[in-house]
Copies of this chain bind each other. A is one copy, B any other.
């Protein structure tokens, strides 16, 4: 196969934009993720893919706790850069944003989110560079009305870059999909 063609086929998948967070003892961290989906309804479970090199991976692996803040389009580029491109190993990211502790103790954003939820890991699957965690949701709330931030919106309207550790990493930001000749 042409590997490039296969990758471009995968770029057509649709994603949201989330801050995935965790806590282990006194340590907490969060990072931008798009690789997250619901996998069962009863009980409500989600799956997410996290790069093994990330601090958030370390905290989830240790505590089994996961928080998800579903970002709103009103979120600032600075917040995305903070959670997407700074490392929690040298920055206490949650010092810079409004947040609260969930019932499991994980930090959850309180501003520029449409909803939040949290849960406990019930399965971990080694998929190579990443671990897929299956998380049973134990609590969640809608925070405000309105559509969520999508990855497509981030790319088109916020000139969004993607961290190299993301499963959906693309070497250059994608231009508007309706333009001919994009990605060439």
Contacts and interface: CB of A to CB of B under 8 A. Distances in A.
B70 A128 contact: no
A137 B166 CA distance: 17
B12 A142 contact: yes
A53 interface: no
Contacts of A177: 145-147
A38 B167 contact: yes
Interface residues of A, number: 67
| Chief secondary structure at chain A's binding surface | mixed
Contact of A5 (B1, B6, B46, B142): B142
A120 B168 CA distance: 19
Interface stretch (A23-31, A77-85, A86-94, A110-118): A110-118
A183 B103 CA distance: 25
Contacts of A38: 10, 13, 35, 49, 167-168
Given A1-B103, A103-B1, A150 B14 contact: yes
Contacts of A36: 13, 37
A7 interface: yes
Contacts of A148: 12-14
Interface of A: 1, 3, 5-17, 34-47, 49, 70, 103, 114-117, 122-123, 125, 127-130, 132, 134, 137-142, 145-148, 150-152, 166-169, 177-180, 182
9 contacts: A1-B139, A10-B46, A13-B148, A14-B17, A36-B37, A40-B129, A47-B49, A127-B134, A150-B152
